[in-house]
């Protein structure tokens, strides 16, 4: 049950969004993909989930090539995505949202059991089963989006920016849910701008920049990597360059930053 991506190239609106991405998600692990806005993180997930057709490259899951499959076939194989911005169905109730997550399943008993599992995972939702999803708070909607994905009985759960726009306490909840779901046997591929939290929870991480992987390594190792700290974790080597001796790399700002890509180039 391994997801392997080799040399994935995707164009999106005439722009080459992915220029040859390689990554591997081992069964049972939490893997995170971090990077700035527009680096191609969402594009990667959308290509895996069948929403976008890749130009070239391989996506294999469980030994089977799934690149270019319709989204339905990907979901059938247990690869399920929680989209960015939650995308719950606002005019359906919480319960309907969860049931539609199980759209491709017909095992009534299994669905009921998973409904209980989700309710236990998110007690807040169980209090609001008949409420319209559009009336939930942002955090509740995120939980609903995760619950809805779990109803598809995923083996690999892909999450696109689950912490985006949520209050810090809720973010903490979301990350503990990610850990819990993983302990229950679901592999997780997580995209985040919140690099700190996601690297902490992840076994392995990849850094994506303008359509290519520029760095990869164990979550902890990346967390301690200088260039990562500088670019994504908000640490600065020195607060403000004291004099004119700061290198151009340090002052080149958010965009076009160069890394020392020496580590983990194996």
List residues near other proteins by CB under 8 A. Answer: 49-51, 70-72, 75-76, 80-81, 83, 87-92, 96, 99-101, 103-104, 148-149, 152
Minimum distance from residue 49 beta carbon to other proteins (Å)? 6
Minimum distance from residue 95 beta carbon to other proteins (Å)? 11
Query: Which of 115, 195 has the CB closer to other proteins?
Result: 115
Distances in whole angstroms, Cα of residue 47 to Cα of each of 24, 88, 102, 190, 202: 15, 20, 22, 15, 22
Query: Which of 32, 49 has the CB closer to other proteins?
Result: 49
Minimum distance from residue 260 beta carbon to other proteins (Å)? 38
Query: Which of 71, 214 has the CB closer to other proteins?
Result: 71
Minimum distance from residue 230 beta carbon to other proteins (Å)? 33
Query: Which of 50, 211 has the CB closer to other proteins?
Result: 50
Minimum distance from residue 219 beta carbon to other proteins (Å)? 26
Query: Which of 15, 261 has the CB closer to other proteins?
Result: 15
Minimum distance from residue 115 beta carbon to other proteins (Å)? 15
Query: Which of 86, 207 has the CB closer to other proteins?
Result: 86
């Amino acid at each position: 049950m391994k997801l392997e991506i080799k040399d994935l190239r995707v164009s999106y609106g005439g722009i080459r969004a992915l220029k040859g991405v390689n990554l591997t998600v081992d069964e049972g692990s939490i893997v995170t993909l971090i990077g700035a806005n527009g680096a191609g993180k969402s594009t990667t997930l959308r290509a895996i989930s069948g929403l976008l057709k890749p130009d070239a490259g391989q996506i294999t899951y469980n030994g089977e090539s799934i690149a270019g499959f319709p989204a339905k076939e990907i979901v059938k194989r247990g690869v399920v995505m929680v989209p960015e911005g939650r995308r719950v169905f606002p005019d359906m109730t919480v319960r309907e949202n969860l049931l539609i997550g199980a759209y491709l399943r017909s095992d009534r008993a299994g669905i009921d059991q998973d409904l209980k599992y989700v309710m236990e995972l998110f007690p807040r939702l169980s209090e609001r089963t008949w409420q319209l999803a559009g009336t939930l708070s942002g955090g509740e909607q995120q939980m609903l989006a995760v619950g809805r994905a779990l109803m598809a009985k995923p083996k690999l759960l892909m999450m696109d920016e689950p912490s985006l726009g949520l209050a810090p306490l809720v973010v903490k909840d979301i990350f503990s849910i990610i850990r819990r779901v993983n302990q229950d046997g679901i592999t997780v591929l997580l995209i985040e701008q919140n690099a700190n939290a996601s690297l902490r929870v992840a076994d392995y991480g990849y850094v994506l920049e303008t359509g290519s992987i520029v760095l990869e390594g164990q979550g902890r190792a990346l967390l301690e990597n200088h260039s990562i700290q500088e670019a994504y974790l908000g640490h600065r080597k020195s607060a403000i360059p004291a004099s004119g001796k700061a290198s151009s790399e340090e002052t080149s700002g958010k965009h076009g930053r160069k890394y020392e890509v020496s580590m983990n180039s194996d």
